[in-house]
């Protein structure tokens, strides 16, 4: 695990696998960390062995979401969604990022509201 300082706060990065392999970066949903958000995917033996065989996995935890973090002060600086996204860009190898695919492991079937918004 590494603590990485960015302009928008310090983030914890947990690294699993061979760092010479292509990077697979995870970023948890609001109020979750990489374990609570992605444990269903990475504790599945088939998925875990396939992913670790082909990728180096970098789990990025937003400020205040790592284990043992102090409570986030409501009067303090609260990063916006844009600030949180900028943290990923500020990582050391940002020039090597070729694309971004956003997938929520907590998704369910789309609702009628979502369907109407996409029309």
pLDDT band at 12 (very low <50, low <70, confident <90, very high): confident
Note the pLDDT of residue 46.
79
Whether the CB-CB separation of 33 and 111 falls below 8 Å is answered with no
Q: What is the pLDDT of residues 30-88, one digit of tens each?
A: 777 777 777 777 777 777 778 888 888 888 887 777 777 777 667 766 667 677 666 66
- The structural domain count of the chain equals 1
Query: What is the model's pTM?
Result: 0.63
pLDDT, residue 8, reads: 66
CB atoms within 10 A of CB 112: 7
Name the residue among 75, 87, 98, 65 with its Cα closest to residue 7.
Answer: 87
- Residue 114, pLDDT > 70, answer no
- Domain span at residue 12? 2-117
Nearest alpha carbon to residue 56 among 93, 25, 35, 12:
25
Where do the DSSP E strands lie in the chain?
2-6, 9-16, 23-26, 56-61
Residues 6+ apart with CB under 8 A from 86: 6, 7, 8
Residue 110: give its domain's CATH number.
Answer: 3.40.50.1820
What pLDDT score was predicted for residue 99?
62
């Amino acid at each position: 695990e590494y603590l990485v300082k960015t302009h928008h706060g310090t983030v914890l990065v947990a690294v699993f696998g061979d760092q010479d392999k292509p990077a697979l970066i995870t970023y948890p949903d609001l109020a979750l960390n990489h374990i609570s958000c992605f444990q269903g995917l990475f504790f599945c033996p088939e998925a875990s062995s396939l992913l670790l065989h082909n990728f180096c996995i970098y789990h990025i935890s937003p400020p205040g979401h790592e284990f043992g973090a102090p409570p986030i002060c409501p009067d303090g600086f609260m990063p916006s969604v844009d600030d949180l996204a900028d943290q990923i860009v500020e990582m050391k190898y940002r020039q090597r990022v070729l694309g971004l695919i956003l997938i929520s492991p907590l998704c369910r079937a789309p609702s009628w509201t979502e369907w109407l918004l996409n029309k």
